[in-house]
Amino acid sequence: MADYPSFREGYQDTAVIDVAYGAAQSEGAAGTIYSTVPLALAAHQTDGSVAFYAGCYTLAQVQPAVQELPPFRPIEIREGHLRPAKSLDVPSDACKD
């Protein structure tokens, strides 16, 4: 995954983003809940064009039951993989390896 400045720079000509989500799948492992979320993006550019992307994000959350005292750790994005797409439709196989 790119560093934050590179990530931010990739959106410098983006005016608005529409997001469509599929059903998240979650499982627990060693005190952490991992979820995969299929999604599609429509990136509306400042020049009026629209670019579509689809893929999968993996999220992680430390089990709330093991977080006894603040500050609590929020849900975090562990990784994301997007590819060019033709529409805002979420592919049914977006999170399959």
Residue 91 belongs to a domain:
no
The pLDDT assigned to 66 comes to 81
Q: What span, in angstroms and rounded, lies between the C-alpha atoms of 35 and 29?
A: 11
CA 93 to chain centre: 15
**CA separation for the pair 54, 93 (Å, rounded):** 10
pTM: predicted TM-score of the whole model, two decimal places: 0.81
Question: What are the φ and ψ backbone dihedral angles of 15, each rounded to 5 degrees?
Answer: -90, -45
Query: Do the domain assignments include residue 90?
Result: no
- The whole-number pLDDT of residue 58 equals 96
Alpha-helical (H) ranges within 1-97 are 4-9
Q: What is the pLDDT of residue 2?
A: 65
| Domains of the chain: total | 1
Residue 42 DSSP SS3: strand
Domain that includes residue 11, residue range? 4-85
Q: What is the pLDDT of residue 48?
A: 97
Q: Which pLDDT does position 34 carry in this prediction?
A: 94
Query: Please, what are the averages of pLDDT over each run of 10 residues along the chain (97 residues)?
Result: 81 96 91 95 97 96 83 89 96 88
Residue with tokens 């893929």: 55
Q: Is residue 93 part of a domain?
A: no
Q: Is residue 96 part of a domain?
A: no
Residue 21 within a domain: yes
